[in-house]
Amino acid sequence: MTPPAVPAETSGRQPEPGLRADAERNRERILAAARRLYAAEGLGVSMAAVAREADVGKATLSRRFATREDLITAVFADRMDAYAVTEALADPDPWHGFTRYIEAICAMQAADRGFADVLTMTFPAAKALEERRAASYHGVVELITRAQAARHLREDFTHQDIVILLMANAGVIAATGDAAPDSWRRLVGHLLRAFATPGTDVPPLSPAPASTALYRAMIRLGRPGVGTS
């Protein structure tokens, strides 16, 4: 009887360079496809759709990324690093650092529907992503504490309010789409005014969207499937 083949990992042989290069190319194609689909449609995109977009087989996708959480982590880990509050904490003005942070993460939400989903969901199985989220959380708490100590941020503002803000912003982004794409800026401006203590300087309020643009957004929202991931 012919003995079973010994896998390369246990035989001491390294994969041929050509095979490693092909595997890396497939991985990059998958990540690029997932980024495009997640940005446009949110995290509801199926793994099968990602495989089709990347022009690879489902087996190839599962070899590179065994689970949906693995793929999401690979796509958004660097975005979560950018979402960290390091730059905001380095601002010598605690209130300016706080407003800068809020505006930055809301802009990132608006630019990428998938990232908007990541910010308002949890992925217990995606440990690397959750570790990055935890690191950002501690930075946010410090940012809030500093702004309150400077007496510019309301004392009753809590870190939970950040999550509520992100959920509200995600809802506006999903509802308005490209019909009134800058509406989120108006929302964030009003919320920063609500968070500020009396007499605190606040960023200028963005212009209100045109009535016709909001009307188009309302019509769009009434279509089946719009506004959901």
How does pLDDT run across 151-188, given as a tens digit for each residue? 999 999 999 999 999 999 989 998 898 899 999 999 99
Please, where in the chain does CATH 1.10.10 lie? 22-66
Q: Where are the beta strands (DSSP E) in 121-221?
A: none
Please, where in the chain does CATH 1.10.357 lie? 77-221
Query: At 37, is the secondary structure helix, strand, or coil?
Result: helix
- Does residue 124 carry a pLDDT above 60? yes
Q: CB neighbours (10 Å) of residue 25? A: 11
Q: Under a CB-based contact definition with an 8 Å cutoff, are residues 206 and 182 in contact?
A: yes
Q: Under a CB-based contact definition with an 8 Å cutoff, are residues 95 and 147 in contact?
A: yes
Domain 77-221 bears CATH identifier 1.10.357:
yes
- Does residue 16 carry a pLDDT above 70? no
Query: In the structure encoding, which two tokens stand for residue 68, read together?
Result: 């949906």
- Does residue 125 carry a pLDDT above 90? no
Q: What is the pLDDT of residue 128?
A: 80
The CATH code for residues 22-66 is 1.10.10
- Does residue 118 carry a pLDDT above 90? no
Q: What is the pLDDT of residue 13?
A: 45
Q: What is the pLDDT of residue 2?
A: 38
Q: Under a CB-based contact definition with an 8 Å cutoff, are residues 135 and 228 in contact?
A: no
Q: What is the mean pLDDT of the chain?
A: 85
